[in-house]
């Protein structure tokens, strides 16, 4: 999926995809990220800490180099400021992407690489990095 997003120059989608895998956040927490959660000034943080909405616990995650590059490119292209939502909605009545919009985006990604969208969704992305770490160790 990452390669297809890069080749298609889908800057927002690449940042969203990479951050979903790196952060392991639930969809509701991912779409509600603000620029200040992942960046300080012009530089993207190596680690971020976010308060989870469901559990009210803070979670720390590493932001890998490819993700930092994708997020920086997205912030620059969208001309986002520190207090802006990282993934703003195009709808005026919603400040950021909804979890349903995010789910539809993930569904399109799955279809684009020939996967069954019923088997791959937002929760699958959340568990991808954990699965890779488990297989390595």
The rounded distance, in Å, linking the Cα atoms of 26 and 127 is 10
**How many structural domains comprise the chain?**
1
Determine contact, residues 9/62, Cβ cutoff 8 Å: no
What pLDDT does 28 receive?
92
Residue-number span of the structural domain to which 106 is assigned: 2-136
What pLDDT does 38 receive?
97
What pLDDT does 119 receive?
72
CATH number of the domain enclosing 68: 1.10.443.10
Nearest residue to 96 via CA among 23, 33, 41, 46? 33
Nearest residue to 102 via CA among 24, 13, 21, 41? 13
The series of mean pLDDT values per 10 residues for the chain, 137 residues long, is 88 94 91 96 94 92 96 96 94 84 86 76 60 54
What pLDDT does 121 receive?
62
């Amino acid at each position: 999926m990452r390669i297809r997003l890069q080749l298609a120059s889908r800057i927002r989608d690449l940042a969203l995809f990479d951050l979903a895998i790196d952060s392991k956040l639930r969809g509701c927490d991912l779409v509600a990220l603000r620029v200040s959660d992942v960046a300080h000034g012009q530089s993207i943080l190596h680690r971020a800490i976010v308060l989870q909405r469901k559990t009210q616990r803070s979670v720390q995650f590493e932001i890998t180099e490819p993700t930092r590059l994708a997020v920086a490119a997205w912030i620059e292209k969208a001309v986002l400021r520190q207090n802006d939502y990282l993934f703003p909605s195009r709808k005026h009545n919603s400040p950021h992407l909804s979890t349903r919009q995010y789910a539809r985006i993930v569904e399109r990604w799955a279809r684009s690489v020939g996967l069954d969208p019923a088997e791959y969704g937002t929760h699958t992305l959340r568990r991808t990095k954990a699965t890779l770490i488990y297989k390595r160790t």
